[in-house]
Structure 1
Amino acid sequence: MTTRTVSVPAPDGTPLATDVCLPDGTRPRPAVVIRTPYGRHAHRAELRGWAAHGFAALAQDVRGRHGSPGEWRPYRGHERTDGAATLAWVRAQAWSNGEVVAAGSSYAAHCALVTALAAPDAAPGTLPDAVIAAVPALGLAETAREPGGPERLWARAGWWAAHGDRRDSDPDALARALAHDPRLLEHLPIVRLAERLTESLGRELPSWPGLWAARGRGGLVALGATARLPLLAVGGTRDPFAEDTAALWHGWGGPARLLLGPWGHRLTADPAAPARARVNLGALYVRWARAALAGHLEPTRHGVIALGDSGRWHSARAPGASRTVAWPFGSPTGLRLLHGAEFSADPDRPVRSDDLAVPAEGERADRCLLLSPPLPRPLDLAGAAAARINVTADAPCADWAVRLTALDPSGRADPLAFGIVRRTGPPGAAADITVPLGTLGRRLPAGTRLRAEIAGHHFPAHARNPHTGEDPVRATLLAPSRRTVNPRGSALHLPVVARHRHVEPEPEICR
């Protein structure tokens, strides 16, 4: 096989740096195209892997990044048109048989999806035949905010410091900035945080305010409903974009497969990924791509969810295989209230996202804390979880964060689920709120206790709500908020596996 670097012309003539790896031989091949802002050179081994299985493989630096000139405008640039031009160029090559799979992870998945979901009047040859979208960063608004509204502060500051407004990447930029300025993420207003970041980074971030101006979300998911080409959506239950991955799969119009493992954003490359839950993603991608291009996939929507690090997988479509079980608050068989039915959510002393420790009884209550009895038997969870709570806040705008932690018999804490929503309404009025807790895939051993925390903040992962009614991105004044959680009418709803019908990932994904 051979690898060479070529320039693929964008519609306006901008030369896009592209590595092309071709299998040995001269017969035309299907192609896999990866368009990335993270550096095409990082994909050399991946390209060789595709080529070894008979695919022409391409990795391209998107406009304005690494080897490609032009202006880098994340999520708002030329990804759709540049992607279409690249696919047309691929199909015009002598080594191409005309079949193309658009693939990518994170922002590269965004590139693949916007190319696949181009306007209905797209020129012939500019759409892929199949899409592999791993941990997809669907759009600017989706990455900036949770579906329930609160801003993803730490992740966006880290990404913009590492990749925003520059041609290359600096993955450790935010860590260095925080070492220089430990209270950096407390800066107000958030929309002007880039000015303080500039002092640490030595460069400007002019695109930072535009990130927070983006409000529309769900556009790619809505377009996906009209798609007819096959989709493989890959994610992890510990990935911040897990719900976007599931939503994309659930709303897709063509044959759709979901692979949701016990992974974070780096999938199986994460050193913390459990050995028993490892999957050879490269081999699975190849097998799926062959089935998709040959038209062998069933025209249905199904997939698999890993049951934590148990090594077992559960079908994502098995009817009746999971049932939602309510764990009522204030119940000896559900979640017992420890303390904090009334608490203060103080943005100057927020509950932190990077600390699982909880206050002891008698200390100042900054959250509502509940605990279950030990599980009498192992419990398998697979599917969507939620907390439905009856609450009161004395602020016109309040965030409600719910963190669920599994405590093993020795008391060791392991994060299980998290959700946060923003509610506006008359101060002091009781409200029934549903807080989605994401899609769970876990096996909990007997003796495990479930600990639930309900708080008003989750900082620095999320911006602090100022409780003044002001936009949190532009607020400069903060005020504490008195909160009440009414156990009556509040419950945790978990997706309990009712039938133990386990599946193998690869056959389920590729049929």
Structure 2
Amino acid sequence: MARFTRVAGLVADKALGLPTRAVPYELREGVPTPMPDGVTLLANHYRPAGRDEPMPVVLIRVPYGRSGVYGQVFAAPLARRGFQVFMQATRGTFGSGGQFRPFTTERADGLATVDWLRKQSWCDGRIAMAGGSYFGHTQWAVAPYADPPLTCVAPHITSANMTDRLFYEHGVPQIQTALTWSASIGTQEQPGLLSGLPDPRARTRVRRALGKLPLQAVDVLVAGAAVPFWRDFVAHAEPGDTFWDQADHDGADLTRMPPVSTVTGWWDLFVAGNLADYTALRAAGVPARLVVGPWLHGEPGELRAILQSDAKWLDHHLNGGPAPEGAPVRVYLQQAKRWLEFDEWPPAAVREKDLHLSGEGGLKEKPDETSATSRFTYSPARPTPTVGGPMLQPPGKQADNRFIEERDDVLVFTGPVLDNDLDVVGPVNATVFARTSIPYADVFVRLCDVDPKGVSRNVVDGIQRLDPRTTAEAPGPDGVREIGVELFPTAYRFKAGHRLRVQVSGGAFPRYARNMGTAEPFGVATEGRDCAFEIFHDADHPSHIRVHVL
């Protein structure tokens, strides 16, 4: 069995792009870790065989299982590199005591675990953390607060802010992501399911459930029982609710952060938060590195990049190995099949370019001189659909948008054919001047790449909720509101012969919850109101999208 494990490990390392050298290790399963409230969490402890002296510890805190697929992919490869790894199941998962209420206990449990580890005879006091997605979040819940500080961290494909960046993106509930994840965590420990492997029937159940109203209890349809996260997500979505403050750590003192390495993808749903975190960390003087590839959340290429990065990062900070080479920022320029390196993000070597919405569906460098408006009506009874984009799982990335652009509730503005390649690298933002027939509405903006055959493929998008209880941009005397929409960042080449296109609509379902046009909480709403939009694009109301061109 030991020989089979070694061979399987070498095969896995080769597939992950890691050096195929294996350090023998010992594994203790189910190591109890006491929490201050009396709950005991369980962990698997990997330690190099024959090493008796105290060593640094790589802490990985994960809700998806400390053994099985996750143990083999995230802990064992590091153990084979000679690291001491402590992979802990978070509260209420896979043998750990208590109830799993995601994002609500990770700070207290994580800090208690760090304190306990430092008291063990086999720990030399140095602790690093690693991992992506939820176990990237568990790092953000600990790293700004640990005293003494951690040695280094590697929070990949995650964000310090889980509220405005993920759960309720600029005020709009991301129901497809939330329900997909609820289905996963709600069934992951059911008998007959393989740990770490998705149920192929789950996607169908989620798609059907998202079309139901009200949404409050659709978790039962996808998981067979109530899922605490979904109930929290639905119950705490209203403006002013402070419940999720405990999940957001972007307001922490970032000067207390240890060195940070982070990997993400242009089609990862966390990329906007990831890049915002990187910029904030560098502004706080924290040594940090960033890699952004052409990946969707959890794609094999993204996982390989994460593990390769972690092996070098941890070796440097824990073993005194060589520092990572190259510039601190490395991003993939899509459609150009090349990597770019920068000293900072956003890169300094860019210029702003504004593309103005124009009458008759144009996209121009200057706004229309005469008064002009475009109109559409959004109806929650037939919500505007969406395809592609940054998603939790496939299908995502780019998709053909033509069937959406043919709808009467989507405005389309198309630019001229490009004479030369246009490299858009950096943040993307839109300013839309609009008047709405009711005060509750959403504005969705999408930038697309139209090829010579007329196929329109999404590049980046963003959404902004209008709510009289929260919206800072109050309408003027004429009812027109200036609306800022933050789109996802990108590094993308629009090739010569292609055209840029901007969509403006009132939603993107089922990725986001449909706006029902009322103040009723989205989880209990069943009746909606149509919203008529007027989009202005003249010299006094210069609706435009702003890109950064390399």
| Shorter-normalised TM range | 0.7 to 0.9
Where do 1:191-340 residues align within 5 Å?
Answer: 192=216, 194=217, 196-199=218-221, 201-212=223-234, 213=236, 215-216=241-242, 219-252=248-281, 253=284, 254-267=286-299, 269=300, 280-293=305-318, 302-308=328-334, 310-315=337-342, 317=344, 320-330=348-358, 333-334=364-365
Q: Which amino acid aligns with 1:435?
A: V
In structure 1, distance between residues paired with 2:232 and 2:267: 28
Q: 1:132 aligns with which of 154, 162, 187?
A: 154
**8 Å contact 1:239–1:263 — kept in the other structure?**
yes
Matched, 1:158 2:180: yes
Structure 2 segments unaligned to the other structure (5+ residues) = 1-24, 389-399, 469-473
Q: CA RMSD in A?
A: 3.3
| CA shift for structure 1 position 350 | 1.6
**8 Å contact 2:165–2:272 — kept in the other structure?**
no
Structure 1 segments unaligned to the other structure (5+ residues) = 498-511
Q: Percent same amino acid at aligned positions? A: 28
In structure 1, distance between residues paired with 2:203 and 2:74: 34
Name 1:502's counterpart in structure 2: none
**8 Å contact 1:381–1:442 — kept in the other structure?**
yes
Q: Which amino acid aligns with 1:136?
A: T
Instruction: Tell which deviates more after alignment, 219-228 or 62-71.
Output: 219-228
**8 Å contact 2:187–2:223 — kept in the other structure?**
no
Q: Deviations over 1:240-267 (max 9, x none)?
A: 1111112222222322222222212115
Q: Which amino acid aligns with 1:492?
A: I
What is the number of residues matched between the two proteins? 476
| CA shift for structure 1 position 312 | 1.5
| CA shift for structure 1 position 287 | 2.1
SS in 2 for 1:263: strand
SS in 1 for 2:423: strand
| CA shift for structure 1 position 46 | 3.1
Q: Which amino acid aligns with 1:265?
A: H
In structure 2, distance between residues paired with 1:395 and 1:283: 51
Matched, 1:437 2:469: no
In structure 2, distance between residues paired with 1:144 and 1:385: 18
| CA shift for structure 1 position 45 | 4.0
Q: Which amino acid aligns with 2:496?
A: A
Name 1:348's counterpart in structure 2: 381
| CA shift for structure 1 position 113 | 1.4
Q: Which amino acid aligns with 1:367?
A: V
Where do 1:36-47 residues align within 5 Å?
Answer: 36-41=62-67, 42-47=70-75
Where do 1:163-178 residues align within 5 Å?
Answer: 163-164=185-186, 167=189, 172=198, 176=201
**8 Å contact 2:183–2:206 — kept in the other structure?**
no
Name 2:418's counterpart in structure 1: 375
SS in 1 for 2:163: helix
In structure 2, distance between residues paired with 1:325 and 1:72: 47
Matched, 1:4 2:28: yes
Matched, 1:111 2:154: no
Where do 1:459-478 residues align within 5 Å?
Answer: 459-478=509-528
SS in 1 for 2:182: helix
Matched, 1:454 2:504: yes
Instruction: Tell which deviates more after alignment, 401-410 or 153-162.
Output: 401-410
**8 Å contact 2:60–2:131 — kept in the other structure?**
yes
Q: Deviations over 1:29-79 (max 9, x none)?
A: 3221110001122122432322333321221111110132321111112x2
Matched, 1:492 2:519: no
| CA shift for structure 1 position 180 | 5.7
Name 1:82's counterpart in structure 2: 109
| CA shift for structure 1 position 323 | 1.6
Matched, 1:357 2:385: no
**8 Å contact 2:61–2:87 — kept in the other structure?**
yes
**8 Å contact 2:290–2:328 — kept in the other structure?**
yes
Q: 1:73 aligns with which of 65, 85, 101?
A: 101
Q: Deviations over 1:124-165 (max 9, x none)?
A: 56x522111011154653465344211101110111121148
SS in 1 for 2:42: strand
SS in 2 for 1:80: helix
**8 Å contact 2:446–2:502 — kept in the other structure?**
yes
**8 Å contact 1:255–1:297 — kept in the other structure?**
no
